[in-house]
Structure 1
Amino acid sequence: MRPSPAHRATASGVSPVTGLTRTDWERTADRLLEAVRRHAGPGHSLINLPGPDSGSGRHSDGLEGYARTFLLAAYRSAHAGKKLAEDTLAPYAEGLAHGTDPSAPGRWPRPADLPQARVEAAAVAIGLHESRHWLWDRLPDPVRQRTVDWLGGISGTAVPPNNWVWFKAVVAAFLRSVGAPYDAGDIERAVAGTERWYAGDGWYTDGARGEGQYRNFDHYNGWAMHLFPLWYCRVSGEQADPALLPRYRDRLRAFLDDAVHLIGGDGAPLHQGRSLIYRFATAAPFFVGALFDATPLAPGLTRRAGSGILRHFLDRGALSADGTLSLGWHGRFEPLRQNYSGPASPYWASQAFTGLLLPPQHPVWTGTEERLPVERADFVRVIGPAGWVVSGTAADGVVRAVNHGTDHTPPDRPARDDPHYARLAYSTHTAPDLGPPLDLHDDPEAKPRDGDARADQGPDNRVALVGEDGALSHRSPLRPLRAAGRVGLSAHVPHWPVTGDTDRERWPAGPAVLTASVVNGPWEVRLIRVAENGRTVCVGGHALAGDRPLWSRAGDGHLMLIRPDGLTSGLFVLGPPRPAHVLRVRRAVGVNAFGAFSATPVYEAAGDLHAVAVFLGATAGTALPPRPEVQLARGDATVTWPDGTADTLGLPDDAHAGARP
């Protein structure tokens, strides 16, 4: 399976890979804005798109529709001609007048009253800054004063200790820039929190429950943790601490060197983390790097990354029939949304259009596209802060990340076993099977985001113990042990949360489990050691999904699932010795973002030592790829690959001790 030819069909000139130029980005922005305009209420202050309400309610969702598309309008107008800029921004100027008027029927919820409005206030502030000479400078004084009053309502409010602190800081920066009252403490707290959350090598944990708890790694690194500190500097200009801009630039440079390796050959970003309905917002950090002179990437590679991501989603049904972004990944897939997601939430994707702030003659728009790392050669890359070992294969464009450091689960709140964080592996071409959110309303320790935990999760990319009732144990919180070379290692105490029981020490728990991953090309060898014998272990491969049921092929010690395009998910039992085992296919319908029909190869066996190989990549017809071999002892293991190379690693006894973080 090679990268889809659909995205190369129109390739020419400076865009030989994606075929997209700046003009295509402008037309896409215009199309998105035109589609949402039809859903605006009186005065254009509230834009309510069709779909289920968020946990904040329909009024909040209407503000979100305005604020997030206002970002897009501001970026689009930056280098537009006078008439186009004025026409693009006119509805938003009207909406600003109505939304900030407490007596208007389309008035906005106030940041002082509604937490979600604090997020949208930051989007409004950035939009006002970027369209300052077209919109803010022309507003009547009463509207400007009401806008300042509305934005100022964010001061003194409480926000979660994560990327939200920057919403207050960016609003404070804008208020300061227009001579309005602002809270300097909002800025100081954002800067200080960001330092505590910096995990090194360009990566941030998005908040932490305790000092040094680096557990929350996802796309928020790119569309929040790097973006907002730099935008704070951009809005503040010379009023910002002069040490901040160089610091944030250096960190983004380091991050982008990793991030460009997390894009598949078909333009797909890694399917991992929350808020995935933002889709091509994953392109934002690449353009932001160019905008702030904070990128190690050549201009043509920057555009290849951004345009590839945009085209990936546009070619795969991200837009509904009416031209609006749906709640989902490719097409509509509402199980992907979180409690805080409303119909307009996907328009955080507007951040991808920060590239339009670059002038048309910028090398990002005029340089010839360059190939992504996965298009040039196979690679293995360690992302240390996140505990990921990433592998990419040029033959099929697939990027995989084995995860031995990220679970998004504070040790004191282990009810969550989020399938988008706690799985052992993720990829650009597969997604986890999802179950319904757990009902945690009886647990006073559970917060709204604990609802991201899922009941009846699939077995894909899990290493779990099988309970007496057949339920699979939870992995998180995990204990990272190693991510180096081609090897990742972690330990965890398997447990089965009991809904409504707040005494976590009483939850059923099993013996500690040590899991090692060794990667090479399309292969991941998983080595599992259980602290006591006799327990049944379940290991799932990648869940493969498509528009019709998957083919399966079973043989001696192996099971393969094959999609019509050749993408294959396989699971191979390694040895000797081979424990008595069961291989089966778990099939499901309507639970996977990549297609209606999904299937997962699953291994189950009792014992304290297990070795299986997980395969994800292209196969030619039904040809069986040559498998790796393992020599497994209690204290170490040697993996020999089809290419003749080998990896030896220890499986230490003391890794089980203190497996609970």
Structure 2
Amino acid sequence: MGIKPIAANPLQSKRDLEQVFRELAEPLLPFYSAGGARLELDGSGAGQTVDVAGMEGFSRIIWGLAPLAAGGGTIDEDLLQVVLKGITNGTNPEHEEYWGEVSDYDQRLVEMASLGLALAIAPNRLWEPLSQVTKQHFYNWLNQINERKVHDCNWLFFHVLVNVGFYKLGLPYAKDQLGANLDRLEQFYLEEGWYEDGTSGHCDYYVPLAFHYCGLIYSALMKEEDPKRAERFEERAILFAQQFVHWFSEDGRAIPYGRSLTYRFAQGALWGAFAFADVQPFEPGAIKGLYLRHLRWWFQQPIIASNGVLTVGYGYPNLIMAENYNAPGSVYWGLKAFLPLALPDNHWFWQVEELPLPELPAVSVQQAPHLVICRDSERDHIAAFNTGHLTSNEHTHTSAKYEKFVYSASFGFNVPRAEWGLSQGAFDSMLALSEGDNLYRVRRRNEQTSIDGDLLTSVWKPWRDVTITTYLIAGLPWHLRIHRIETARELDAAEGGFALPLNPSLVVSQHSVSVSGMTGFGSSGITGIYGYERAELIYAQSNTNLMFPRTTIPTLRAKLEPGSHVLISAVYGEPGKDDAVQSDDWKKLFQVTIKDDQVRAVSPLGKFITLPFK
């Protein structure tokens, strides 16, 4: 059909974005079921059944199709007809592809949200063409969400979107339950625009791509009916944007952190939602730049299979990092980023000139998500330093996704491939501890956490009789880590730096307690200042890093007898670095004094710690 490859698309105009949607959606046509109600993609299994996974894939295309229809864009007629057929058959209790009766906490409750959005913004293309019988079936199937329980977290917004869709069409809706769910969502609000994802939940990408994204849609659609809540959603989203902008580099990439990262360009969906709601946290051109550069960066990555289907993974196809709920079609939640297609051609978002990032400070302290974001503008490198959390969960690779000491937008991070040894564990940006049996434990949750400027402190217990107090002094390209360890057992300790992508140009510099690697990508290194015995490069097993299939991790090693210990290291990471790292360059940024059985460290912002060795 003459569509340019996505990587060659300049992504500057509304027409360009429409073209990208078609390039993503049209290769899916052969994978719709005979009745059109399921998207049957091969490749992997997930926690939900195959039929539910197929329904999930079907619904997630609607996140892009509904805005395209609402904005008057050209829709491939074959795609439109198969979607209308899918709705007809999927909601018909007598059809073999009926989507079924849903239960409490059912995955299909999540997938109803895009259909609710379609009813609200694109009824002329996705509702009116249906027969009266199908309309009733469609309503009945969606209305099950008003009879079922949803998880007490961002899922409440899915109920909201369905009922807003009903309301906009003049259909019966659960007014009282809608209000109750909106009130419950208020209780997850923390500060500075942040929500927690449920009681004691984490602050991650679900805040922008679920809470604020849906909140801004609600504001845009229900401002007249619920003006005070709409205004509150907008004010909080603006507050949040002042912190969230620090998660993005100038070239468009964002910091990989937390779960559900296979949704990829959904990371930047919020910037499009601001346009949809006519809310401007920054200059209009800056919002547009954030949005478009993010999409451009993603479509330069090898994330699309040869048949045109998006893969599960992050920077490349990778099932190791996937969640239990990531079916092959799950990745199309990324189409939430296509909401601006609903805007008319003359909207300010499509008319203004794209601008670079707003001027940002080198350090952003973000208390609610427990992070300090550092920015090296010269190298366009951003990293999130992390105290960790007081709670944990059972999601896949929780320690790797929420408890590393630092997350870099350039170096990415690793998840473990198996439990045996440092190569399988792939412990970048972590302190890993073993009882000499080659089975390592890392931080999973914390007893205490605090942030004071660029000084982050956490207390954690990998065993009941091992207590570790970790101090991070944030910075780029160097940062400091200090651990005070009180242990009743003998331990092997391994401290990992940033994972460096492997290629044939790797140059290694190694000394007794210092090791670094340099490739065409950049440099990564670690220096033992106190307590470590040796340094080495750990060659992590393949496909453990989210960004690069093969990586090596500069690592310090030590053996700890029962008692009290202090470990101090300086960690280095700099993309684009093309000369050797000097192992003592950290001294230009940090002051560390060790004498009289005490260590004193001072940060660039003047924060300091003093602690005894014994």
TM-score by length of 2: 0.89
Matches within 5 A, 1:509-548: 509-531=464-486, 536-546=492-502
Question: Take 2:193 and 2:418, find their aligned partners in 1: how far apart are those partners?
Answer: 32
Matches within 5 A, 1:121-270: 121-208=112-199, 213=200, 215-236=201-222, 238-239=224-225, 241-270=226-255
Question: Take 1:231 and 1:95, find their aligned partners in 2: how far apart are those partners?
Answer: 25
Q: CA deviation at 1:394?
A: 1.6
Check the 8 A contact 1:50/1:343 in 2, yes or no: yes
Q: Which moved more, 1:620-629 or 1:509-518?
A: 620-629
Q: Which residue of 2 aligns with 1:620?
A: 578
CA gap 1:79/1:383 in 2 versus in 1, 3 angstroms: same
Q: CA deviation at 1:268?
A: 1.5
Question: Take 2:345 and 2:396, find their aligned partners in 1: how far apart are those partners?
Answer: 50
Q: CA deviation at 1:41?
A: 1.4
Which of 307, 323, 326 is the aligned partner of 2:292?
307
DSSP 3-state at the match of 2:550: strand
Check the 8 A contact 1:432/1:458 in 2, yes or no: no
1:338-376 Cα distance to aligned partner (Å, 9 max, x none): 111111100001111112222223332222222225xx6
Q: Which residue of 2 aligns with 1:583?
A: 535
Gaps of 5+ in 2: 1-6
CA gap 1:294/1:516 in 2 versus in 1, 3 angstroms: farther
Q: Which residue of 2 aligns with 1:430?
A: 411
Q: Which residue of 2 aligns with 1:73?
A: 65
Question: Take 2:410 and 2:65, find their aligned partners in 1: how far apart are those partners?
Answer: 32
1:365-408 Cα distance to aligned partner (Å, 9 max, x none): 222222225xx676111111011011111222111011114476
Which of 325, 332, 341 is the aligned partner of 1:356?
341
1:22-44 Cα distance to aligned partner (Å, 9 max, x none): 32211101111111122111232
**Alignment pair present for 1:29 and 2:14:** no
Check the 8 A contact 2:219/2:233 in 1, yes or no: no
CA gap 1:427/1:164 in 2 versus in 1, 3 angstroms: same
Check the 8 A contact 2:324/2:395 in 1, yes or no: no
**Cα RMSD, aligned residues only:** 2.9
DSSP 3-state at the match of 1:568: strand
Which of 601, 605, 608 is the aligned partner of 1:638?
601
**Alignment pair present for 1:463 and 2:431:** yes
CA gap 1:52/1:532 in 2 versus in 1, 3 angstroms: closer
1:58-89 Cα distance to aligned partner (Å, 9 max, x none): 101111121110221111122225x6486763
Matches within 5 A, 1:242-641: 242-372=227-357, 379-406=362-389, 409=392, 417-436=398-417, 457-495=425-463, 509-531=464-486, 536-546=492-502, 550-555=506-511, 557-565=513-521, 567-574=522-529, 578-588=530-540, 589-605=542-558, 606=560, 608-618=565-575, 619-624=577-582, 626-628=585-587, 629-632=591-594, 637-639=600-602
Question: Take 2:605 and 2:323, find their aligned partners in 1: how far apart are those partners?
Answer: 42
Q: Which residue of 1 aligns with 2:4?
A: none
1:438-474 Cα distance to aligned partner (Å, 9 max, x none): 9xxxxxxxxxxxxxxx995322111243323233223
DSSP 3-state at the match of 1:133: helix
Q: Which moved more, 1:455-464 or 1:327-336?
A: 455-464
Check the 8 A contact 1:111/1:151 in 2, yes or no: no
Question: Take 2:153 and 2:418, find their aligned partners in 1: how far apart are those partners?
Answer: 23
Count how many residue pairs are aligned between Structure 1 and Structure 2.
593
Q: CA deviation at 1:262?
A: 0.7
CA gap 1:171/1:635 in 2 versus in 1, 3 angstroms: farther
DSSP 3-state at the match of 1:520: coil
Q: Which residue of 2 aligns with 1:15?
A: none
Question: Take 2:516 and 2:435, find their aligned partners in 1: how far apart are those partners?
Answer: 26
Question: Take 1:189 and 1:572, find their aligned partners in 2: how far apart are those partners?
Answer: 54
Gaps of 5+ in 1: 1-8, 12-17, 439-453, 496-508, 657-661
Question: Take 2:418 and 2:147, find their aligned partners in 1: how far apart are those partners?
Answer: 33
1:472-512 Cα distance to aligned partner (Å, 9 max, x none): 223122144322322211111123xxxxxxxxxxxxx3321
1:253-305 Cα distance to aligned partner (Å, 9 max, x none): 11111111111233221111111110001111111122223331222221221
1:557-598 Cα distance to aligned partner (Å, 9 max, x none): 321122322x21211122xxx335121211122322222211
TM-score by length of 1: 0.83
Check the 8 A contact 1:547/1:595 in 2, yes or no: no
Q: CA deviation at 1:623?
A: 4.7
Amino acid of the structure 2 residue aligned with 1:218? D
Question: Take 1:156 and 1:312, find their aligned partners in 2: how far apart are those partners?
Answer: 42
Question: Take 1:415 and 1:122, find their aligned partners in 2: how far apart are those partners?
Answer: 24
Question: Take 2:209 and 2:294, find their aligned partners in 1: how far apart are those partners?
Answer: 14
Question: Take 2:388 and 2:62, find their aligned partners in 1: how far apart are those partners?
Answer: 37
Question: Take 2:503 and 2:40, find their aligned partners in 1: how far apart are those partners?
Answer: 30
Question: Take 1:112 and 1:623, find their aligned partners in 2: how far apart are those partners?
Answer: 57
Matches within 5 A, 1:109-124: 109-112=100-103, 115-124=106-115
Check the 8 A contact 1:393/1:521 in 2, yes or no: yes
CA gap 1:455/1:118 in 2 versus in 1, 3 angstroms: farther
Q: Which residue of 1 aligns with 2:34?
A: 42
Question: Take 1:647 and 1:581, find their aligned partners in 2: how far apart are those partners?
Answer: 30
CA gap 1:344/1:485 in 2 versus in 1, 3 angstroms: same
DSSP 3-state at the match of 1:161: coil
Check the 8 A contact 1:407/1:418 in 2, yes or no: no
Q: Percent sequence identity over matched residues?
A: 24
Check the 8 A contact 1:525/1:611 in 2, yes or no: yes
